């Protein structure tokens, strides 16, 4: 009897092959049991897990080696449900991918493969039917909402055209619209109980509620069935019912549909201050729902109506409706700020900041249309309200900044609307000085920025009308020679404010680190310095004209101005030994004084004034040079000598 030595590795491979086939048989039985236990009904087929040999590359490799040398799978094992049949042992040398399951099979797919209508190894249904279903639902939802908008437009046309052309009787028109709205809401409530019909239910309910809102508006404005105040209460109840339904269904889309549908078509029915009141009722009704559900989109949508309608109505305010218009736009401001305060703790800051920034627009439009002291008072009330909002304890920095900026804009408009001419210039410059001092005390950049804006406008007004450049370069000084002492006094006062403002801005900018002792901040302090120099020159010349309103006063004033420039340059050079910015400013001022001497004083001045200007400026420059050289030498000696060791007297 011949015996052959069996390679132990071959025997091990055979055993592993047999073990793999047994595991395949067990997985097939599990698949059959799962298929038998699965409920029969519509929907995608349940996910089927692939056999172990199809999910493990290492197992497939071992199976291939074992199948080449081991016995075949038993005949009683049906592997059709688990994928394509495995190759026979005779298929030795087949490519590696030959044993992978065929993705086109209606059984278990290969890893990563997906067959339409059949489950994949990942355990989920094919995404193509789900995508088609979502697309169909989106299309149905869009169709339903478009139908709702068209229906609303039809209701409005029925109410308006029937009133203008005498169709039906007024009670029939109102009753028809009300019944249609109630029917739409009822159908929406009925459909909402079905899961697959809720998209249409939202559109129907929103259309019905907006219809009821517009019917009440038409009954009040077009037919006079209700006074304004009771009508607004009814409108508030209808809007509260619609938004309460949106809150119960937890659908921001429904709330937005009610608000947008009622607000967009309300201008077809009413166009005066009552339009703002209707939109304001929607905003009031939306407030508790916005805060409860934290729906910032609904908040902005509800606030858009009062802002847009208030701006349009306020800009075209009628004479006999001023009180009502002022009341509704101020009410809109109050409601929006009352919404922003709690919303700042619940919602994202960006939408709340946008609400605060937009809410004063109707008030400002109304103030501009009213004009005079009445318009200024309305804008001042808005400024106070916004300032109080900004000073609320615990308010976020972003909202505080937006509130203060909006208050500054309102105050600016109040100033320009209430007064004009020199009064506006004085008020703007005075406010700028106060804000600059406040910025220096608080070390805050926001009031400094507002002070710069106010000061820029005030300085331009001063340059144009109160202290014009023409009054400084020619004699008789226009317009001082036309108005006499009063104009000169106004010019002197404005010049003082310009000079004080420049000094306050420089100090405040230094306190908040916007201006540093280096040339890098020159783009900021150079314009401020030029403004201050202009204010000082205008002040000197104007005071000289007040003392002597003739050419002698004019030339003497310029001589004093030139000398004062050189004195200021000396002070800056003395303080600028260790501060490059001051030193550079002093040198620039010296150059400006010399340029003024040569280009202006030499030509415009004559006689004693010309001599005084040159002698005074020259002596000051000599003193400045001597003093500056000594200070520089002392500074250099202090740097060379060690600390605590006196310098050599020799």
Each residue's pLDDT tens digit, 470-518? 777 777 665 665 556 778 888 889 999 999 999 999 889 888 888 776 6
Least confident of 42-56, 399-413, 545-559, 608-622: 42-56
Unique residue bearing structure tokens 């166009």: 271
In a domain, 163, yes or no: yes
Residue 123, SS3? coil
Task: With CA atoms as reference, report the closest residue to 186 among 236, 143, 237, 241.
Answer: 241
**Residue 557 belongs to some domain of the structure:** no
The average pLDDT across 511-532 equals 80
When divided into structural domains, the chain yields a total of 4
Whether 246 contacts 289, CB under 8 Å: yes
Asked if 579 and 552 count as a contact pair (C-beta separation under 8 A), the reply is no
- Among 379, 401, 423, the domain boundary falls at 401
Q: Are residues 150 and 70 in the same domain?
A: no
Is 595 a residue whose pLDDT tops 70?
yes
> Is 192 inside a domain boundary?
yes
CB 323 within 8 A of CB 378: no
User: Hunting for tokens 């008030």 — which residue is that?
Assistant: 363
Model confidence at 17, in pLDDT bands (50, 70, 90)? confident
**pLDDT (0 to 100) of residue 603:** 66
Percent of the chain with pLDDT over 90: 35
Rg (CA), the chain: 43
User: Do 152 and 265 lie in a common domain?
Assistant: yes
Tokens coding 225? 């069935």
Asked if residue 329 and residue 219 are part of one domain, the reply reads: no
Contact assessment for residue 246 and residue 254, using Cβ atoms and an 8 Å cutoff: yes
Confidence of residue 82 (pLDDT cuts 50, 70, 90): very low
In 3D space, the residue among 374, 369, 358 whose CA is nearest the CA of residue 316 turns out to be 369
Q: How confident is the model at residue 139 (pLDDT cuts 50, 70, 90)?
A: low
Domain identity same for 327 and 256? no
| Cα–Cα dist 298/253, whole Å | 9
Q: Which domain holds residue 29?
A: 1-38+47-90
Same domain flag for 149 and 171: yes
Q: Which two tokens stand for residue 472?
A: 């400084």
Find, among 217, 208, 202, the residue nearest to 183 by Cα.
208
Higher pLDDT among residues 19 and 186, named by residue: 186
pLDDT level of residue 76 (50, 70, 90 thresholds)? very low
What is the pLDDT at residue 439? 93
Do 5 and 82 belong together in one domain?
yes
Residue 168 has pLDDT above 90, yes or no: no
- 76 SS3 class: coil
Q: Comparing 129-138, 240-249, 272-281, 303-312, which segment has the lowest mean pLDDT?
A: 129-138
Instruction: Please check whether residues 208 and 241 belong to one and the same domain.
Output: yes
| Local structure of 364: helix, strand or coil | helix
DSSP alpha helices (H): ranges in 38-107?
A: 52-55, 57-69
Q: Choose the final residue of a domain: 223, 246, 270.
A: 270
Question: How far apart, in whole angstroms, are the C-alpha atoms of residue 262 and residue 607?
Answer: 81
Are 167 and 65 contained in the same domain?
Answer: no
Task: Give the residue ranges of DSSP H helices in 222-370.
Answer: 228-249, 252-269, 273-293, 296-315, 322-346, 349-358, 361-370
Statement to judge: residues 264 and 168 lie in one domain: yes
Inside any domain, residue 580: yes
Tokens of residue 480, six digits: 């001082």
What residues have CB less than 8 Å from 338, skipping those under 6 apart?
287
Domain shared by 290 and 246, yes or no: no
Whole-number Å distance between alpha carbons of 433 and 429: 6
Q: Which of 367, 401, 435 is the last residue in one of the domains? A: 401
**Has residue 587 been placed in a domain?**
yes
CA–CA separation, 432 and 458 (whole Å): 8
Specify whether 218 is located in the same domain as 282: no
428, part of any domain: no
Residue at 121 is within a domain: no
Average pLDDT over residues 356-377: 93
- Whether 646 is in a domain gets the answer no
**Looking at residue 489, what is its pLDDT?**
86
Instruction: For residues 258 and 297, state if they share a domain.
Output: no
Query: How far is Cα 346 from Cα 198, in angstroms, rounded to an integer?
Result: 29
In sequence order, what are the residues at sequence separation of 6 or more whose Cβ sits closer than 8 angstroms to the Cβ of residue 576? 582, 583, 584, 585, 586
| 144/582 Cα distance (integer angstroms) | 72
**pLDDT band at 631; cut points 50, 70, 90:** low
The mean-pLDDT minimum among 1-15, 61-75, 178-192 falls in 61-75
Question: Which of 311 and 112 is assigned the larger pLDDT?
Answer: 311
């Amino acid at each position: 009897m011949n015996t052959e030595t069996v390679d132990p590795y071959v025997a091990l491979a055979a055993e592993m092959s047999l073990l793999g086939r047994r595991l395949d048989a067990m997985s097939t039985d599990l698949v059959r049991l799962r298929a038998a236990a699965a409920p029969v009904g519509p929907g995608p087929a349940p996910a089927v897990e692939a056999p172990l040999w199809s999910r493990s590359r290492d197992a497939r490799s071992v199976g291939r080696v074992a199948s080449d040398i081991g016995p075949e799978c038993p005949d009683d094992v049906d592997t059709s449900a688990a994928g394509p049949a495995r190759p026979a042992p005779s298929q030795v040398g087949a490519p590696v991918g030959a044993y992978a399951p065929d993705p086109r099979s209606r059984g278990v797919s290969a890893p990563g493969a997906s067959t339409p209508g059949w489950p994949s190894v990942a355990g989920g249904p094919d995404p193509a039917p789900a995508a088609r279903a979502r697309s169909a639902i989106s299309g149905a939802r869009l169709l339903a909402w478009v139908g709702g908008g068209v229906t609303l437009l039809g209701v409005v046309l029925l109410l308006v055209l029937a009133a203008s052309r005498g169709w039906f009787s007024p009670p029939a028109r109102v009753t028809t619209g009300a019944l249609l709205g109630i029917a739409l809401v009822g159908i929406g409530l009925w459909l909402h109980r079905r899961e697959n019909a809720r998209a249409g239910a939202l559109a129907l309910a929103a259309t019905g509620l907006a219809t009821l809102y517009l019917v009440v508006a038409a009954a009040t404005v077009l037919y006079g069935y209700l006074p304004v105040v009771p009508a607004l209460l009814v409108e508030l109840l209808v809007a509260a019912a619609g938004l309460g339904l949106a809150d119960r269904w937890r659908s921001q889309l429904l709330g937005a549909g009610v608000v947008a549908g009622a607000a967009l078509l309300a201008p077809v029915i009413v166009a005066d201050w009552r339009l703002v009141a209707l939109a304001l009722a929607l905003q009031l009704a939306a407030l508790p729902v916005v805060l409860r559900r934290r729906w910032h989109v609904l908040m902005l949508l509800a606030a858009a109506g009062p802002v847009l309608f208030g701006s349009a109505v306020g800009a075209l305010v009628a004479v006999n409706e001023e009180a009502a218009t002022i009341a509704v736009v101020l009410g809109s401001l109050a409601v929006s700020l009352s919404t922003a305060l709690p919303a700042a703790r619940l919602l994202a800051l960006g939408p709340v900041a946008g609400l605060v920034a937009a809410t004063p627009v109707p008030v400002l439009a109304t103030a501009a249309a009213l004009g005079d002291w009445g318009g200024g008072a309305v804008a001042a009330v808005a400024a106070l309200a916004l300032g109080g909002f900004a000073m609320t304890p615990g308010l976020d920095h972003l909202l505080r900044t937006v509130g203060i900026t909006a208050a500054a804009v309102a105050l600016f408009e109040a100033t320009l609307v209430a007064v004009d001419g020199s009064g506006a210039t004085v008020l703007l410059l005075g406010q700028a000085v106060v804000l600059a001092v406040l910025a220096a005390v608080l070390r805050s950049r926001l009031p400094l920025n507002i002070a710069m804006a106010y000061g820029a406008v005030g300085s331009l007004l001063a340059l144009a009308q109160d202290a014009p450049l023409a009054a400084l370069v020619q004699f008789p000084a226009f317009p001082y020679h036309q108005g006499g002492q009063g104009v000169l006094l106004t010019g002197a006062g404005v010049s003082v404010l310009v000079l004080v403002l420049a000094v306050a801005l420089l100090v405040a900018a230094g306190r908040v680190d916007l201006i540093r002792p280096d040339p890098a901040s020159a783009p900021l302090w150079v314009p401020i310095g030029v403004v201050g120099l202009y204010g000082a020159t205008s002040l000197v010349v104007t005071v000289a004209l007040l003392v002597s309103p003739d050419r002698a006063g004019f030339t003497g004033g310029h001589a004093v101005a030139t000398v004062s420039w050189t004195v200021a340059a000396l002070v800056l050079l003395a303080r600028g030994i260790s501060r490059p910015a001051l030193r550079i400013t002093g040198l620039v001022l010296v150059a400006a004084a010399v340029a003024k001497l040569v280009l202006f004083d030499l030509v415009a001045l004559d006689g004693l004034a010309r001599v005084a200007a040159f002698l005074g400026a020259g002596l000051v420059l000599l003193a400045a040079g001597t003093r500056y050289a000594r200070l520089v030498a002392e500074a250099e000696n202090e740097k060379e000598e060690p600390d605590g060791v006196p310098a050599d007297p020799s």
